[in-house]
Homo-oligomer: A and B are copies of this chain.
Amino acid sequence: MKASNPVYEHNCTTCNSRLHSVFSVVDAENIVDLNAHKSCTTYKKGQVIFSQNGLPLGLFCVNNGKIKLSTSGPDGKEQILRLVKGGDILGYRALISNDRYHCNAIALEDCSICVVDKAYFMKLAMENQQLCRAIFKKISDDLKKAEEHIVSLSQKNVRERMAEALLFFKATYGYESDNQTLAVQLSREEIADFVGTSTESAIRLLSEFNNDKIIELVAKKIKIINIDKLTKTANLLY
């Protein structure tokens, strides 16, 4: 039952996520302005934030919560393309290139997200060199990651890709307070949709890693207990 989302107004001036975002480079005066051009919404786990082919009306700024960007392949299978967290901007690619969304953004957990007015953001980005560079850096990093994903899909087997994926989850979302448990909950199907394999193979490999004492499966969570072995298994380039 989807009720309309509650709205909590955050203030950009005091927003901690902002300090870790592309807007960290913008000066105080403009931040007051930014605040006047945004509104804030929350999304429940599983809710769609935007979807494929939609037109961007603003820039999403993730206050907190985790989000997956995914797309549906030719036979209906999902592919997770990016993973997003607090401090990230969302839906910026379509916005800055005047395109439609080419993926779906779905909340992996309850999220609080602000939307900045499109025209205001574009003006700010074009006038503020630092912000402009920060956005270039952001999209550039996403392109680099995508191209690394291509190499991985093209040249590694499923076992290596699974290990790499776990390391990627760790790099993106980090650990919980125990310094072992991945701070993101993805279903086996979602993990498979990231790795590019079947759900069954994903389940099987996680079981194997569990047996091999590389990870530990506790309830729905994944603990990395031997990161060296995991790194070796990933067959990384560097």
* Residues of chain A at the chain B interface (Cβ within 8 Å): 71-75, 77, 79, 81, 93, 96-99, 102-103, 126, 129, 132-133, 135-137, 139-144, 146-147, 149-151, 153-156, 160, 196, 235-237
Q: How often does this chain occur in the complex, in copies?
A: 2
A154 closest partner in B (C-beta): B196
A74 touches B126 (CB 8 A): no
Min distance, Cβ A13 to any Cβ of chain B, angstroms: 26
Given the interface pairs A126-B132, A153-B150, the reply to whether A98 lies near B137 with Cβ below 8 Å is: yes
Min distance, Cβ A141 to any Cβ of chain B, angstroms: 7
Given the interface pairs A97-B136, A139-B136, the reply to whether A74 lies near B155 with Cβ below 8 Å is: yes
The secondary-structure label for the interface of chain A is helix
Given the interface pairs A102-B147, A136-B139, the reply to whether A155 lies near B96 with Cβ below 8 Å is: no
Report the Cα distance A97→B144, complex, angstroms.
11
Which of B71, B77, B143, B235 touches A139 (beta carbons < 8 Å)? B143
A194 closest partner in B (C-beta): B154
B137 touches A139 (CB 8 A): no
